[in-house]
Amino acid sequence: MAVPNRPVTTSSEAEAALFDLVDVYDRAYETAAAELSLSPAQACVLGRLDERRGMGALAEELGCDASNITQIVARLEALGLVTREPDPRDRRARLVARTPLGSEINERFATAFTFARTAVGRLSPDEQDQLTALLRKALG
Q: Could you list the residues that contact DNA (CB under 7 A)?
A: 1-4, 39-42, 54-57, 59, 63-75, 84, 87, 90-94
Residues of this chain that bind a copy of itself (CB under 8 A): 1-2, 4-15, 17-22, 24-27, 29-30, 40-41, 43-48, 62-64, 68-69, 72, 106, 109-110, 113, 116-120, 122-123, 127-132, 134-140
CA neighbor of 45 nearest in space, from 86, 94, 106:
106
76, 82 in Cβ contact below 8 A? Answer: yes
Q: How far is the CB of 78 from a copy of itself (least distance, A)?
A: 19
> DSSP characters for 36-77?
TT--HHHHHHHHT-SS-EEHHHHHHHHTS-HHHHHHHHHHHH
- Pick between residue 71 and residue 132 the one whose CB is nearest to DNA: 71
Q: How far is the CB of 60 from DNA (least distance, A)?
A: 9
CA distance 19 to 22: 5
φ, ψ for residue 98, nearest 5 deg: -75, 145
Residue 101, contacted partner among DNA, a copy of itself, none, CB below 5-8 A by kind: none
Q: How far is the CB of 139 from a copy of itself (least distance, A)?
A: 6
